[in-house]
Amino acid sequence: MSVLDSIIEGVREDLATRRLPLSQLHEQLSQAPKVIDAHARLLAEPMTVIAEVKRSSPSKGSLAAISDPRQLAAQYQEAGAAVVSVLTEQRRFGGSLADLVAVRSEIDIPILRKDFMVDEYQFFEARAAGADVVLLIVAALSKNQLKDYYDLATELGMAVLVETHTHQEIEDAMEIEPRIIGVNARNLKTLEIDLNAFAQLIPEIPSSIIRIAESGISARSEVEIAQSAGAQAILVGETLVKAGDPRAAIDQLLGRTK
């Protein structure tokens, strides 16, 4: 079993313990905050940042305690992040939907629910919790699931970040005509990082699509590599949560410091 398979197995088990009756979920959905459009914000500058609330990871273990995700998200917003990503997977990343709800109450920029979306129910609960964007990982889904979940998220008003890691996954992603595609430098099946993925894969994505570079970014030089390949935004978690000053870290990544 790959790391990705193991994570998904745990996600399904945890979902079974919190699944609500659909009537109750739809009631929550009717009271959800209005969707904030992420597309324009991701394109507001030549390079923008999706800043992540992330306590731990399967590859690095514990990263940061983050006792108050609202405070960290507020710092990200003040630092000019275009979107805040909130990890909601519990077993490997130490997150929860409660974190997303808390962050939504604090900031007024789009929020990405970062999780392994493998069941229709998760999309309804994401929107009910206040998510504006959801993640679809091509490696975790069949072609039919990818299409169906993309359509469902769109119907609920959310934007979708379609995550890829190989040439074939980009081809599969293109079949659903997405507005945002991410290239993850981390292989989710082995957890190995190869930053060459940015230069190899991002140019394959048409310029009409918002292109995101994900994972492994910790230095300005790596942002420049991603940007030269065509990335318009970067998704950064570990570097920011471990930084004592998230604003300074974002400034450094974007070349705002001298």
Mind listing the pLDDT tens digit for each residue in 78-97? 999 999 999 999 999 999 99
Q: What was the pLDDT predicted at 258? A: 56
* Burial of 212 per CB tally in 10 Å (0-12, 13-18, 19+): buried
Contact assessment for residue 36 and residue 219, using Cβ atoms and an 8 Å cutoff: no
Per the structure block, which two tokens stand in for 205? 């994505």
Is-above-0.85 flag for pTM? yes
Q: Residue 16, Cβ neighbours under 10 Å: how many?
A: 10
- Which pLDDT score, from 0 to 100, does residue 48 have? 98
Looking at domain 3-253, its CATH class is alpha beta
Residue 81 · residue 51 · CB < 8 Å: yes
Phi, psi angles (nearest 5°) of residue 48: -120, 170
Q: Tell me what percent of the residues of the chain surpass a pLDDT of 90.
A: 85
- pLDDT band at residue 187 using 50, 70 and 90 as cut-offs: confident
For the chain, the average pLDDT equals: 94
Look up tokens 């394109």; give the residue: 43
Q: What pLDDT is stored for residue 239 in this prediction?
A: 93
Asked if residue 104 has pLDDT above 60, the reply is yes
CA 214, CA 164: separation in Å to the nearest integer? 10
% pLDDT > 70, the chain:
99
Q: Facing residues of 113 across strands?
A: 86, 134
Q: Is the pLDDT of residue 257 over 80?
A: no
Q: Where are the domains of the chain?
A: 3-253
The SS3 of residue 34 is: coil
Give phi and psi for 234, each to the nearest 5.
-125, 145
Least confident of 43-52, 101-110, 237-246: 237-246
Mean pLDDT, residues 119-131: 97
pLDDT for residue 65: 82
Catalytic residues: 52, 54, 114, 163, 184, 214-215
Tell me which amino acid residue 94 is. G
